[in-house]
Amino acid sequence: MNWDWDVVGDYMPRFWDGVQLTLQALVLGSLIAFGLGLVWAIAQRSPYRWVRWPVSAVTEFIRSTPLLVQLFFLFYVVPEWGPSMSPLTTGIVGLGLHYSTYTAEVYRAGIGGVPQGQWEAATALSLPRVRTWLAVILPQAIRRVVPALGNYVIAMLKDSPMIAIIGALDMFGEARSFSNETFTSEAYVVVGVAFVVIAYPASVLIRLLERRLVLTS
Amino acid sequence: MMTSGMFTNYFLPGIWITVQVTVYSALLAAAVAFLVGTLRTSRLWIVRFLAGCYFEIFRGMSALVFMFFLVFSLPLMLRWQLVPMWAGVLALGLTYGAYGSEIVRGALAAVPVAQREAGVALGFSRSQRLRRVEIPQAWPEMVPPFNNLLIELLKGTALVSVIMVSDVTFAANLVRFANNESAPVYTLLLVVYFAMAFVLTRGMRLLERRAKAGVGQEQPRGGLLRRGLHEDAGEGAGALTAGGAAR
């Protein structure tokens, strides 16, 4: 067993830089996923088939192809005819886009769970469409799905090291370059432990949140 | 533009490796899922605790990081090396097995208590009860979430390209290095994964139909019981897919 605590000590400053980047990617990626997912979910309830059908097809396609390949696509193909993005930006867009197709399903379940009477009441009060969504349906729908959305944030955290493959220096990217430079391997263990240490309290938190929201709703 | 030689020489062998990795890690994951999932319903707290630890650790762990640990850290620390493909299979199987164990545990918990009690009353041992009564009834409920997990696993196999396993993603990267035409290569790669996911989903639908029919056929007279089971399955599946939103 070869284990050198000095190597761990040398890696720690870079580890904290990496944690910052990981959290940044996670927060921004989540914001994109939450926003875009809602757009997909509402578009899938559109009365027009030419809106519903393409949105379903695109989300289904994104959901059943690997995030890693999507990142390659965004990083190598999109710059050929579109904007050229830094690895971190590509990673954030990729994570957000990929997970928006999951959050879309979550929102869809939440919107489907709003009783039919709420829609009818909004019609009876002749509320405009926008106001029906914003003031009646979404507040009730989103409240129930907060824990499920939280679960996807944790899932996104676990997928975030993939952005290191296209060159972003998140915790895992820092570990990879540190290990390559120093011919050591302790950094991977540090990152592995860090993932469990971050993910476990987060999942406990979500379980508590779930219990609380279920009790009061 | 991509030539057909590139497809047959690089993509096809890559697809075959991806299929192999998917099948092996799915088998490992299924074994882990059933083992850990049933252990988590054990009566002994220490067994439950250890199985729970396994679940929490591997659910929190990123498969990619674990793969790198197996390939780069383990040989340096233990002086013992795994073939990259088996390291990938091990990492995917253990990680997705942990997710699967939650499905198995949930489905077992959703089997009506009366079934367990009937097994006790008939003097079945614990393992007989699991094998003959609880798992056969929980199985149809497990199939739809297992389908989702299998698709996730298929997507996860793209990660093995990073540890130098020549799967289809690795092949696509090689082709891109060779001819620098990234658009057709990665588009084709995405389509290949989508097609594989589609085939898997169709297969699992078939399995689901057969599993549901199996439960129905085993209870030819019990019309009431069958309906009861069916409602139960609907509820359980809803809770699993909507992540608690349905409750």
Burial class (CB in 10 A: 0-12, 13-18, 19+), B127: exposed
The pLDDT of residue B238 = 33
The pLDDT of residue A2 = 75
Using alpha carbons only, how large is chain A's radius of gyration in Å? Answer: 21
The pLDDT of residue B1 = 54
pLDDT score of A215 more than 70: no
The pLDDT of residue A4 = 82
The pLDDT of residue B216 = 72
* H helices present in B110-218, as ranges: 113-121, 126-128, 135-156, 168-179, 182-218
Give A-chain residues touching B194 at CB under 8 angstroms.
61, 64-65
The pLDDT of residue A51 = 92
A196·B61 Cβ contact <8 A: yes
pLDDT tens for A97-132 read 999 999 999 999 999 989 999 999 999 999 999 999
The pLDDT of residue B234 = 31
pLDDT score of B244 more than 60: no
Report the length, in residues, of chain A.
217
pLDDT score of B19 more than 80: yes
In this prediction, residues A70-76 reach a mean pLDDT of 94
* Res. A8 pLDDT band, cuts 50 70 90: confident
The pLDDT of residue B80 = 78
The pLDDT of residue A1 = 65
A195·B245 Cβ contact <8 A: no
Tokens encoding B47 = 């067994």
Tell me the C-alpha distance between A65 and A97, whole Å: 12
* Res. A5 pLDDT band, cuts 50 70 90: confident
Choose the weakest-confidence range: B94-98, B131-135, B149-153, B212-216.
B212-216
| Average pLDDT, rounded, for chain B | 83
* Res. B245 pLDDT band, cuts 50 70 90: very low
Residue B141 distance to chain A (closest CA, Å): 19
Domains and CATH numbers, chain B: 4-241 (1.10.3720.10)
A64·B151 Cβ contact <8 A: yes
Which residue on chain B is closest to A115 by alpha carbon? B246
In sign, the C-alpha dihedral spanning A156, A160, A165, A167 is: positive
A80·B182 Cβ contact <8 A: yes
In the 3-class helix/strand/coil scheme, how is A95-108 assigned residue by residue?
Answer: HHHHHHHHHHHHHH
* Res. B7 pLDDT band, cuts 50 70 90: confident
Tokens encoding B54 = 């396994």
The pLDDT of residue B236 = 32
Tell me the C-alpha distance between B228 and B239, whole Å: 17
pLDDT tens for B23-34 read 999 999 999 999
The pLDDT of residue B240 = 34
| Average pLDDT, rounded, for chain A | 91
Domains and CATH numbers, chain A: 5-216 (1.10.3720.10)
User: What is the pTM (predicted TM-score) of this model?
Assistant: 0.86
Give B-chain residues touching A76 at CB under 8 angstroms.
176, 182, 186
pLDDT tens for B163-184 read 989 999 999 999 888 887 888 8
pLDDT score of A70 more than 60: yes
Give A-chain residues touching B245 at CB under 8 angstroms.
106, 109-110, 113, 144-145, 147-148
Tokens encoding A145 = 């799905």
